[in-house]
Chains A and B, each alone.
Chain A
């Protein structure tokens, strides 16, 4: 006992406390950096960009040097990298916040009950010449919902079943490798090409000048399908083989195992992937412009006649110009806000589905 005591006394004690910057140090440096930036801006008479660049440089260098002087190299590196990581995060957030702010601030004025219940038939400028109702986006909203829903109906069964083939049946055989490659290629198809595909296909079948919402759905499902296949594939791969084996060992045939064990286990992830795929195509413009066309009438039938969609509505309103450019632009921003809200809602639904259907432990 005394031996060990002596030993501990002999060993040089390692200091556990090292000098540290005060907790408010980053804040302090930030304030000083902003002040320096402001001063430079006033003296040189430059704008906001210069101010933030100067302030950022002063902050990063100042904090690192101070930390180096007081805390040592390791902590100084830590502070430097931390500042850089935060800076890139802020830079990444700037466009997102700016776009959201822009859309909300310019779009909210256009929103009203009439905006959702009226279409643009006979509307020139403010109101309908005959009824006096203000114009709205009913036709575009209906078109977007119908076309996207039809595209989902087409691509989800095909995509999910293709993924089931790839993961469960075609385990790394030649066909499944070729299919996987083609799906990867399809992911990169420009949307305008998908539009041209639907356009030429339907023109061949139904003659020239054919326009319909269904064509738009076809084009969108060309874009959706690879996303659905990919998402489903990844989710199915995550289902452990042990569950499949457990099911086989109970004498359950393969197809029942897939339908009743594998798919339910992966359902949350698949639903999330599908919802994200819908959100991804809901904002497509180019293919719809080609094949679904542009109109002022509310059309509930996807299989005949032109159909307006929100992105195309935004496009045509902004590019119309002329005497009523101002009111048209306001409507475009309103439609943009509605579109953003739809996409965000879909994303939230995706998260919710993922949460609801993930396997529970019940603890």
Chain B
């Protein structure tokens, strides 16, 4: 069910401010693509434009084409809600719904859309998603407890379970480990490796070791200069990117000489 994404000539604005300019790349299906780069260079902005979450912010808009499975996400008559049902997202800070139990949090995507299902069917989805997110063994005895009672790492895995419960084609992750300790981070990285076989995954990270560990392909974003819009400097297989990058700026960033 995984799908590839083709991004061509994308400019992203916040009101009149051009935040990211001229992005071209093609994200492979069933692979992990990482976005790296210094803060404020537009990695998260590009990520959020991939499932039309960017326009949730007032005044924000996107120019150019983002094509998933032959459909332009920004074409006329495309419903952003339908796009988001196919392209799920995990955020930087874990954000389980505070009014819901662990069980209901996993089913949130189905329940909030009033999808009718049998109890056994719902149980299956919950177990499958929680197992998929490596959380089942930790929470199977307290599914009725509030999701907010879990630890930070568990909450983030709960959010991943919630995102994969609606069976999206693509999973976007916006710095999913930046609020987590190394053990939870390792758990989530293992999870990303497992999810790769079923989903197209795009992950934004500040941690270059993480990008090197989990991703197949990497995009390096940078600002042209201070005050200028961000742009995609280089997009290459991760092994090439970290061993022999095309662009000197990439090498400088990866080797720690700048950024």
Instruction: Give the interface of A toward B (CB within 8 A).
Output: 171-172, 240, 242-253, 256-257, 260-261, 264-265, 267, 359-363
Which one of A250, A362, A363 contacts B88 once the chains associate, using CB atoms below 8 Å? A250
Which one of A172, A247, A249, A359 contacts B51 once the chains associate, using CB atoms below 8 Å? A249
Find out whether the CB atom of A247 lies under 8 angstroms from the CB atom of B149.
Answer: no
CA A157 to CA B102, docked complex, whole Å? 31
Find out whether the CB atom of A265 lies under 8 angstroms from the CB atom of B58.
Answer: no
Query: Please, which residues of chain A bring their CB within 8 A of the CB of B62?
Result: none
Find out whether the CB atom of B113 lies under 8 angstroms from the CB atom of A251.
Answer: yes
Find out whether the CB atom of A251 lies under 8 angstroms from the CB atom of B91.
Answer: no
CA A77 to CA B82, docked complex, whole Å? 65
Which one of B98, B112, B114 contacts A247 once the chains associate, using CB atoms below 8 Å? B112
Other A-B pairs, 14, CB within 8 Å; known A249-B163, A250-B162, A362-B149: A171-B58, A240-B95, A245-B56, A246-B97, A248-B81, A249-B53, A250-B109, A250-B163, A251-B83, A256-B113, A261-B99, A265-B97, A359-B98, A360-B148
Find out whether the CB atom of B149 lies under 8 angstroms from the CB atom of A243.
Answer: no
Find out whether the CB atom of A361 lies under 8 angstroms from the CB atom of B149.
Answer: yes
Find out whether the CB atom of A243 lies under 8 angstroms from the CB atom of B81.
Answer: no
Query: Please, which residues of chain A bring their CB within 8 A of the CB of B111?
Result: 260
Given A250-B163, A265-B97, A362 contacting B145 (CB threshold 8 A): yes
Is B89's beta carbon under 8 Å from chain A?
yes
Query: Please, which residues of chain B bring their CB within 8 A of the CB of A361?
Result: 146, 148-149
Is B108's beta carbon under 8 Å from chain A?
yes
Find out whether the CB atom of B146 lies under 8 angstroms from the CB atom of A249.
Answer: no
17 contacts between A and B (CB under 8 A): A171-B58, A240-B95, A245-B53, A245-B91, A245-B95, A246-B91, A246-B95, A248-B56, A248-B84, A249-B91, A250-B85, A251-B82, A251-B166, A256-B114, A360-B98, A360-B146, A362-B149
From residue 173 to 202 of chain B, which have CB atoms closer than 8 A to chain A?
Answer: none
B81 CB to nearest A CB, Å: 5
CA A363 to CA B154, docked complex, whole Å? 14
Query: Please, which residues of chain B bring their CB within 8 A of the CB of A246?
Result: 91, 95-97, 159, 162
State the majority secondary structure of interface residues on A.
Answer: helix
Q: When each residue 70-107 of chain B gets 1 if its CB lies under 8 Å from chain A and 0 otherwise, what string results?
A: 00000000000111111011010101111100000000
Which one of A248, A265, A363 contacts B99 once the chains associate, using CB atoms below 8 Å? A265
Q: How large is the interface on B (under 10, 10 to 19, 20 to 34, 35 or more residues)?
A: 20 to 34
Find out whether the CB atom of A252 lies under 8 angstroms from the CB atom of B112.
Answer: yes
CA A180 to CA B188, docked complex, whole Å? 45
Closest residue of A by beta carbon distance from B58: A171
CA A363 to CA B98, docked complex, whole Å? 13
Closest residue of B by beta carbon distance from A254: B81
Closest residue of A by beta carbon distance from B145: A362
Find out whether the CB atom of A252 lies under 8 angstroms from the CB atom of B53.
Answer: no
Closest residue of A by beta carbon distance from B82: A251
Q: When each residue 15-55 of chain B gets 1 if its CB lies under 8 Å from chain A and 0 otherwise, what string results?
A: 00000000000000000000000000000000000010100
Given A171-B58, A249-B53, A250-B163, A264 contacting B99 (CB threshold 8 A): yes
Which one of B96, B112, B146, B166 contacts A256 once the chains associate, using CB atoms below 8 Å? B112
Closest residue of A by beta carbon distance from B85: A251
CA A210 to CA B210, docked complex, whole Å? 76
Find out whether the CB atom of B112 lies under 8 angstroms from the CB atom of A242.
Answer: no
CA A51 to CA B85, docked complex, whole Å? 75
